[in-house]
Amino acid sequence: EETKRDFKCKMVEVEDDRGTRVWIKLSLVKESLSLIAQENEKQAEVSPRSVIGPKTSIDVFSSTWGWVAGSISSAPVQAVGSEKVISAFITDTDSEFASQAILIPSRLIDHENVLMANSWITDTVPSSSSNHGTGFDENGKVITCKDPNNMKKNREWRYNKGTKWKCKSQQLEIKASPSQEFSLSGVIPPNDLIHLTHLHEPAVVYCLKKRYSVDEIYTNTGPILIALNPFKDCKVLYSSPVMKMYWERGERSSGKSDGKQAGAADLPPHVYAVADSAYRSMMRTLDDNRGKITVGESADQSILVSGESGAGKTVTTKIIMSYLATLSERSTSIMEANNRQPKKDYGTSLLDNRHITGNKKSFDTNTQSVNRSIEQQVLQSNPILESFGNARTIRNDNSSRFGKFIEIQFSSSGILSGASIDTYLLEKVRLISQAPGERNYHIFYEILTGSNRQERKRFFLEDLTAEDFFITSNSGIYSRRDNIRDDASFLELKNSMTIMGFTTDEQYDTFDVVCALLHTSNITFEKISDTECILEEENPYVTSATELLGVTSDALNRALCFSILEVGGEVVYKTLSVEQSHKALEAIVKATYSALFTYIVDMVNDFIRSVNNEEKATFIGVLDIFGFESFEKNGFEQLCINFTNETLQQQFNLFIFKAEQLEYEKEGVAWEFISFPDNQDVLDLIEKKNTGIFSILDEQCLLGHPTDRSFALATYKKCSQHERFTANQAQQAKGCFSINHYAGPVEYDTRSFLEKNKDELPKEAYELLKSSSIPFLQYLADVQKSHQSSNNNQNTVDGSVRRGLSSLVRVSVCGQFRTQLRKLSSRINGTSPHYIRCLKPNDDLKPNQFDPAVIADQLRCGGIVEAIRVSRVGFPQRYPHEHFYRRYRILGDHRNNASRYFRRKRDSSPARARSSCEFLVDSIVHQLLKDDSSMHDGTETFSAQSHSIQSQRTSSVRKEISSINSKNFGYQNRQKKRHDSVTALRKSHDKKNEYLSAGIQIGKTKVFLRQWAFDKLEQILGEKKHKSATCIISVVRMFLARCRFLNFIEEYYNQNWDSFTMEEQYEIAVHRGYLEDISQDQYETMMRSSSYQYDGPPVEVHPQIEMYENMKVSMPLRQNRHFKW
């Protein structure tokens, strides 16, 4: 009952005509039907699926999910045979048991089988946080249902001809689809799932389903944004007006706006809001430190975008970068409007300073693009990296086959000064073979379909298509399912490279290499013997490959059909079989493309990096990395990818759960511990020294003649006892094993593990590229050599680096990858993270289709429900005592004794800092509690948790009071001492409860705030600063105007003084305060006399007047006391 009163959203258990709404486990329904059937001695008949009410446009398969919506009857318990049963009615229209009344044995009902449902009453006025009636129309404007009461009573909202919604009382007409009736009726689930009265998996999935049905793809879950992939174009959601609303809200919250802009209402969840929050947090920290980061304080932020393949991570990353670039341009325009130093042309300076050393060819730095901003260059890096690093997979048409961490660098004024991109684990095996239903990298298909006639002649393509090349045709897939045309993408790629700063020669050099790999993949061999072969020179692709690679056919034959050995200081060429030559060809293709990709990333970083390190004050990092993968056949790449996701999940757990709860316990904050999933044992299974799978793999690579079978046997021996590792007899016979990841079990095939882990750069491949007549190919050879040499220097784990005879270097991929991940984790831990969980509503990549089973599985994998539980009772914002006081001290009540306390001499002791915060919080709490309507999700949202904590405190206080009463203070003053102790204890208890209601708790060294309290506090601070600045400016303007006025009056009097009569002169002088104790007769006598002289001090002009107006005032009028006869 208390929860029902407190919750402003009126989310209560509503009893309809059939009873209390609940969620019932599907297994319980089936078991109940079976038991009742046994009691009645007859077979249960299941009626066919019937759908009641309006049909939805979303296909739902609830039968595979595990939960159905229903209602429990309030009728008395019945008896069927020996079973006591409770009547329930299935209201879920998407269930096979829809519209059925079932009898559930009462002994089977518990908190795991039956869960309370959440309800939203339609006559509730939407609060600014829940936004039940808020969305965007086709023009990007906010739609808000302002009068749901009137709408409910008079039924003013009417649907007209399938196109528009009308409301007579509001004179409002909105274009909408029938599915938007749910939203416009004001009953859409809340924007933030921490508002749910009953928090459990069915409630979360149901809310996401309802929001998805009205195209509300973003939902907040405390500090995490859930983004559902709509699998369709949503231009309105990312239009300029929508973007403007979010940056204006951010400026209002930071006090940089007068609050009069449009869109004053709170806005729905959006990826823009996450990007804006990261930017404002960065600027707030810079502002607190006056533009300089002090030791122990960092303004760096990170936005971690995670999710399965196909969930929309890459698109989300591009949207974030676009918003941050827009904020930077806005900051630049504001600075230029204030006549500050204009922004530099970073693009041109980067090109002018670009130089290439070593054996790299000298490129022309003149490009077609001159006026390029750094914001444009950063955004244009996306199409380039997507073409060379993305491919179509079974789950995603634009899947990133590499990971990247984009560091967007900002100056202390919030202007984007540069960026850098770190890449992780390019999937090179895709160059040789693709699984059914997948493609190679986009660039191959884009060149084949988008190049013009002249370019096709240069590339030796003429009439060739993707079906004519081995590396683009072995899967039989040539197009994309997301309606993106490869020829249009190729034009966008060339435009992006031009804007980025690539010259025409650089672009064609890059495309030449891509086409050379296409032709090289079609090279065939002529068998001479079982151990010897040569190139089949009649193959027309040999000529094309040699021309584009700049080598002779003999050099190519020597690189592919021979192996170089050093024996006794002499070089010996060993012949290779046809199969071995094919392996050598694959190695050259992978090594060359890897070097090309490294070159492109390095060039992009050269173009977008910050020229002046002093301008790089802080950064916002955006992580876009491969999602968890589980295919029918999983190999070494999937193990590395899933290990990455395990590492990121561990970081997520550390930030959301571990560190959070340990911090509360350390600071003495009232808190209820929440269990959470921990995947540390999985990380130990994969990477632990000596016993981890990666360590076993590195050890096998060091043996003389290792095989995949020997690696599998060693893994079974060392890992068989681990509870997360399984390998039955059937799996061991095939050389497979399974790991139970946080996202579920995955089976891995150990074939090719050793070969892929070595990642060898064949000496033959290096010599071939180095002998090329094309300087660019020579440079690529040096790029690959230097890249692996740098990996050599870093990768010394378990001795995984080793030099060999037939290869230039041997580098352990898993060792290199672990080193990269450790650096990535270290960088993320040094920032303030923001999380976006991208979810895929169905596996078919189709719009308007929501599969609860798919969503529930992803929620379980990401620990979303547990994170919501933490957020509901958590304090995500915290400040050290001294920092809190320094930031919010202007909000203190300066009329009470606290004002004098604040002005005392500084004392840096912890006790002094805590006392200062307590005085300040006393003043702030009243401001937070003063306006109930401003409490977005405070006491209403957390009333249940607050009530629980307050109950625990009340019990603790009672025990302490009993302890006080039992003490013997002596006969004298015993009653008084007891009374004083109990009174002080109760006051302290009441004050802590008041703090908790206001969303604030004071720890031992920090002040903790709930998110709504922090937002409100920042709003009050911004309003206070704006009001104070307005007051100061008004006084300064008044002073300057008065100075100008006085100057004008003085000049007028001085110029026209002789024209005034003696009587007028006297009145002016008296009125202006120039004469004291001098009568008019004395003044007239003084002025008529020629025998007076001035014997006073030197005349001094008022310093402020001299500063602003350099005014000169006549001496006789200013110094009147020193006249004497």
Asked about 326 being catalytic, the answer comes back as no
400 catalytic? Reply is yes
Other Cβ atoms within 10 Å of 252 Cβ, number: 21
- Is position 399 annotated as part of the catalytic site? yes
The answer to whether 533 and 525 have CB atoms below 8 angstroms apart is: yes
Structure-derived torsion over alpha carbons of residues 562, 563, 568, 570, reported in degrees to the nearest 10 = 50
161 contacts: CB under 8 Å, gap ≥ 6: none
For the record, the structure tokens of 916 come out as 């200062």
User: 228 pairs with which residues across the strands?
Assistant: 839
Q: Fill in the DSSP letter of residue 810.
A: B
Query: Going by C-beta distance under 8 Å and a sequence separation of 6 or more, which residues neighbour residue 426?
Result: 389, 401, 402, 594, 597
Cα 691 to Cα 28, 263, 695, 713: the distances in Å are: 43, 58, 7, 13
The single residue of 308, 506, 629, 687 carrying the catalytic annotation is 629
The CA distance from 206 to 856, in Å, is 10
* Catalytic residue (choose from 70, 133, 222, 310): 310
Q: How far apart are CA 636 and CA 399, in angstroms?
A: 18
Q: What is the dihedral of CA 1115, 1120, 1124, 1125, to 10 degrees?
A: 80
Query: What is the C-alpha to C-alpha distance for residues 554 and 564, in angstroms, rounded to an integer?
Result: 15
C-alpha to C-alpha distance for 199 and 196, rounded to whole angstroms: 6
- Reported as half-sphere exposure (CB side, CA atoms, 13 A), residue 235 has a value of 2
Annotate 1078-1090 with b (16+ C-beta within 10 A) or e (fewer).
beeeebeebeeee
Nearest alpha-carbon partner for 302 in 426, 422, 425, 424: 422
Pairing of strands 224-228, 570-575: unpaired
Looking at the chain, how many residues does it have? 1125
b/e code 41-69 from CB counts within 10 Å (16+ = b): eeeeeeeeeeeeeeebebebebbebbbbb
Q: Which residue in 779, 777, 774 sits closest to 356, CA to CA?
A: 779
Three-class SS of residue 564? strand
Determine the distance from the C-alpha atom of residue 325 to the mean position of all C-alpha atoms in its chain, rounded to a whole number.
15
Nearest of 999, 723, 701 to residue 872 by alpha carbon: 999
Reply yes or no on whether 387 is catalytic. Answer: no
- 310 catalytic residue (yes or no): yes
What DSSP designation does 975 have?
Answer: H
β-partners of residue 103 are 87
- Beta-strand ranges (E) seen in 1035-1081 are none
Closest CA to 487 of 521, 448, 458, 455: 448
Strand partners, 303: 622, 834
Tell me if 3 sits within 8 A of 75, measured CB to CB.
no
Q: Which of 183, 309, 679, 757 is catalytic?
A: 309
Catalytic residue among 119, 220, 381, 396: 396
Report the candidate in 552, 670, 630, 1120 with the shortest Cα–Cα distance to residue 857: 630
* Set 144, 219, 285, 399: catalytic member: 399
Separation between Cα atoms, residue 175 and residue 137, nearest integer Å? 7
How far apart are the C-alpha atoms of 553 and 944, rounded to whole Å?
A: 78
Nearest to 400 by CA among 487, 308, 480, 490: 308
Q: Name the catalytic one among 93, 185, 316, 400.
A: 400
Q: Give the integer Cα–Cα distance in Å for 914 and 89.
A: 57
Helical packing angle, 240-253 and 1011-1056, nearest 10°: 80
- Please pick, among 119, 124, 221, 314, the residue that the annotation labels catalytic: 314
What's the N-to-C CA distance of the chain in angstroms? 93
- Which tokens sit at 441? 């990298």
Task: Respond yes or no: is residue 465 known to be catalytic.
Answer: no
Name the catalytic one among 627, 735, 862, 863.
627
SS3 per residue for 299-310? CCEEEEEEECCC
Positions marked catalytic:
309-310, 314, 396, 399-400, 627, 629
